[in-house]
Chains A and B, each alone.
Chain A
Amino acid sequence: MDLQLALIFLQQGIASGLVSGSIYALLALAIVIIFKTSEVPNFAQGEVFMAAGYVALYLFVFQKLPIWIVLPATLVAAFLAMALFRRIVLDQVAKSAKDLVYLVIATLGLSYVLKGLVRRTGFGDTPRSFPALVPTDSVMIGQASVTILDLTILGAALAVMAAFFWMFNYTKMGRAMRAVGMNPKAAQLVGVDLKRCHMTIWGMSGVISAIAALLIAPKILMTADMGSIVMLAFAAAIVGGFSSLPGAIVGGFIIGIVENMVGLFISSRAIVLAPFLAILIVLVIRPQGLFGGKLTIKKV
């Protein structure tokens, strides 16, 4: 490969990586906000993303509802599904078993139920495509070719992240969430409604996943297995340290770029290995992740 081509590949890899990375970053953010507050890695995050995509597909393509109804309806559905799962299922699990293992298994159960449900509806049988709402014309940035849709995805994802950060850092609700993340018992003592706070966080995590699904849906063929990209989001979260919100986002972009580079420079068959290799490298070189702090001492 000559240098000229390598440079073009490099630019293309970064541009495409930022676009797919923004989706991984959103999903990683959704995973990390739950982990920070519930200490549960939600293995159903990918299926929530997938199911939200199908809800939008059903409403928009099959029911032919206008987009200004489809978008909020999808987000509300994702919020409710996750909030209710937290409230009805996980609160009951936490009541009957103290160990975190049980909560994690319950999220695995949810992932299977969602996947099975989508397949049952019949929409999940064949790959479907979601119509793009913005033009897919190409534009050149440097020597990389991207579409208007790509730029919209990146822009919208960044806007969602900014909105979430503002909420998390500057509103009363965000303060309550941070308090729960640091010390749930103390947060409860100062008047945070723990159950409601958890429901809100899980709901928001659902909304963020749904937004990711709505953004990426026009670019991919939808199948009931599309939730498996969550692996890349988990990798992103690990790269970022798993409990850092900025870490999740930076990790998402890193994973997106690495994935595209592997595809361009090595082989598209090897893309599947990218998340595993990324996790492995982080575990070897910097196990606490890029943004993860030192482990705190457990008080005894």
Chain B
Amino acid sequence: MSREVEDLNRRLLRARDAMDRAYAEPLNVRAVAAVAHISEAHLSRTFRAVFGETPHRYLQRRRVERSMFLLRETERSVTDICFDVGFSSLGTFSRTFREIVGETPSGYSKGHGPIVAPHCVQLAAMRPRVVARVAMQSSSFGEAAGAAAP
């Protein structure tokens, strides 16, 4: 039982890493599922049980985090950054950004300057706090145990 859970976790982590590497490309559910050796039908539920959010939401959140970095550190326009991080519509980007960060991309851009610290420290420091609460609410050990059952 335990080995199966560990093996599934590891495969899903590999799939999550694959999404991180290709964050700017459209989400290819089939490819992500293939990396995890899991069916497309089971990917979303299983991923959420393990990581607390669906693959789609995970990718959106990571894109928003990357856009926060670009909004702080560069002079690029909100529209350019929207496409840089993989959103295909400015409307979706702005709405998702507001949901996750709590302010608009342009408002965020004006209010924050560069942080001088290694990249991983920056990411940790700028991680949207709203998301942590949502993730906690949407995750439960019950789901994880259920998903792990054969």
Chains A and B form a bound pair: no
Q: Which residues in B have some Cβ–Cβ distance to A below 8 Å?
A: none
